[in-house]
Amino acid sequence: MIAHSLASASFRDPAGFVYEGPVGLRRQVNQVYREHYDRLLTSGLYDELVSKRLLVEHEEVDEEAPEPALAYKVIKPELIAFLSFPYEWAFSEFKDAALATLNVQRTALRHGMTLKDCSAYNVQFRRGRPILIDTLSLESYREGEPWTGYRQFCEHFLAPLALMSLVDHRLGQLSRTNIDGIPLDLAVRCLPWTSKFRLGLALHLHLHQTFQRKHSGADQTARAGKMGASALFGLVDSLESTIRGLSWKPERGGWSTYYQEHLYTPDEFQHKERLVVEYIERTGARTVWDLGANTGHFSRLAAQRGLSTVAFDLDPACVEQNYLDVKKSGETRLLPLLLDLFNPSPSLGWMNQERASVLDRGEPDLVLALALVHHLAIGGNQPMENLARLFRRLGSWLIIEFVPETDPQFRGLSAQRRGIHHPYNRDHFEQCFDKHFINMAAEPLSDCGRTLYLMRRRQDLE
């Protein structure tokens, strides 16, 4: 699934393309990129970027290329555990991806090369850190040429970060409807007028947009004039300073403090932790999606046991805190991402295949759904059968917590809905899930009736 997602998005670059071969993911390097590829390897740039964990490592393989008339090399890149897209990143993930891209550009310039493009989709998160995955986006630098990736960097990174920082974090979702980057004229209209008094934003967004408008339809690269290497280093430094000056601090409260305000007694919470670990170990899973992960407490129970874990949550504050904790602790198996289960990231781009939907980017061995079902059923008014079908589609194993009608959280949600919702009770829950799963274990978690289930998808046992 990861190979398909990469391959379907690599058609734009004539330098080469990603494809899924008989034995895994491959990239064909075309003859047109030969000079740049050789420069990348012989200049020392490849080795430095790989050692700094800024570029995915690859190895050349002796295999027949799918288009041999165009091919120069076939390379086998290191796989990324899970592909994520900018509109699924917390603010700090977005910011770190931007800074990593600038770091690549600065390093490339020191080796006589440059990033020809700066798509945010060329960055993924690997072992807790952002990394460039498009080897062919680096090309030889010719003295005096402007940075062709500058505009794309501003549209893909600076514009959304400025909007998230100065207006509203939710404006990061504009990257979902503008997969080629947020147009600078749109960004400038949305930014507060005070942004003009911030030097970096004035230069790289406001004046940049004015230049675009003035020279609309013209060759803007040519209009930009010649830029020496020292000027390009200065441009990178200016962009980095501007990016570092942007920040976002979530408001206190909300779901990010859930663990401090949960309804379990200390003994009940420890019992839940032990039971989740026991269930995880029983599955033998290697990959986990934690849905409604909050700040990732239970996700870490999986990641600490060597499982590649994606922690999804709707609340940007939760995902932000989770990612900051990942950075602080140096965790390598946990990826926090934004996800609205009522409106998950769809398939986008050319023929709806350029960017795969989140549900099509993998099939985890195990899904965690802790204290989630009542939010989907009551808060989102989803029939229980719909929820059972969703979890059946996602993975083979399911650890799911049922919150009964007597639970204070259920009563609070139900009061907001004024009792208007589909049937919701334990018997109905078990009947709906029994159509798709075999119940392997169930154990009470608390005095208020919460129960933790371990289920196995029926089709995997038939």
pLDDT tens-place string over residues 19-67: 998 889 999 999 999 999 999 999 999 999 999 999 999 999 999 999 9
pLDDT tens-place string over residues 240-259: 999 999 999 987 655 555 65
- As assigned by CATH, the class of the 254-460 domain is alpha beta
Which helix (DSSP H) or strand (DSSP E) does residue 161 occupy? helix 159-166
Confidence of residue 273 (pLDDT cuts 50, 70, 90): very high
pLDDT at 224: 54
pLDDT at 22: 84
Residue 9 has pLDDT above 60, yes or no: no
pLDDT at 4: 52
Distance CA 165, CA 191 (A): 10
Distance CA 409, CA 114 (A): 54
Higher pLDDT, 218 or 403: 403
Structure tokens at 217: 């339809």
Which helix (DSSP H) or strand (DSSP E) does residue 385 occupy? helix 384-394
End-to-end CA gap in the chain = 23
| Count of helices and strands (H, E) across the chain | 20, 15
pLDDT at 18: 95
pLDDT at 433: 97
Closest CA to 302 of 281, 330, 328: 281
Give mean pLDDT, residues 366-392: 94
Q: Which residues pair with 74 in a beta bridge?
A: 28
Which ranges in 52-149 belong to alpha helices (H)? Answer: 91-110
Question: ∠ CA 202-102-183 to the nearest 5 degrees?
Answer: 45
pLDDT tens-place string over residues 203-229: 999 999 998 888 775 555 545 557 788
Give, as one character, the DSSP assignment of residue 55.
Answer: B
pLDDT at 262: 60
Give mean pLDDT, residues 354-361: 95
Domain boundaries along the sequence of the chain:
1-248, 254-460
- As assigned by CATH, the class of the 1-248 domain is mainly alpha
Helix axes 426-434, 384-394, angle to 10 degrees: 40
pLDDT at 322: 97
pLDDT tens-place string over residues 56-74: 999 999 999 999 999 999 9
| % of residues, the chain, pLDDT over 90 | 81
pLDDT at 422: 84
Closest CA to 176 of 344, 372, 394: 344
Confidence of residue 134 (pLDDT cuts 50, 70, 90): very high
Confidence of residue 408 (pLDDT cuts 50, 70, 90): confident
Residue at 432: amino acid letter: C
The 3-state DSSP class for residue 201 equals helix
Which ranges in 15-128 belong to alpha helices (H)? Answer: 34-42, 45-51, 91-110
Q: Is 148 exposed, middle or buried (0-12, 13-18, 19+ CB in 10 A)?
A: middle
pLDDT tens-place string over residues 278-328: 999 999 999 999 999 999 999 999 999 999 999 999 999 999 999 999 999
pLDDT at 327: 97
Distance CA 440, CA 398 (A): 10
User: What mean pLDDT is reported for the chain?
Assistant: 92
> Which position has the token pair 């064909």?
28
pLDDT tens-place string over residues 193-203: 999 999 999 99
CB 133 within 8 A of CB 80: yes
Residue 459 has pLDDT above 80, yes or no: yes
Q: How far is CA 443 from CA 217, 285, 424, 433, 450, in A?
A: 66, 20, 19, 16, 9
Closest CA to 99 of 203, 245, 248: 245
Give mean pLDDT, residues 355-359: 95
Distance CA 148, CA 55 (A): 20
pTM metric for this prediction: 0.93
pLDDT tens-place string over residues 167-186: 999 999 999 999 999 999 99
Distance CA 142, CA 320 (A): 40
CB 160 within 8 A of CB 123: no
Q: Is the dihedral of CA 206, 211, 212, 213 positive or negative?
A: positive
Higher pLDDT, 271 or 462: 271
The 3-state DSSP class for residue 310 equals strand
pLDDT at 139: 97
pLDDT at 71: 96
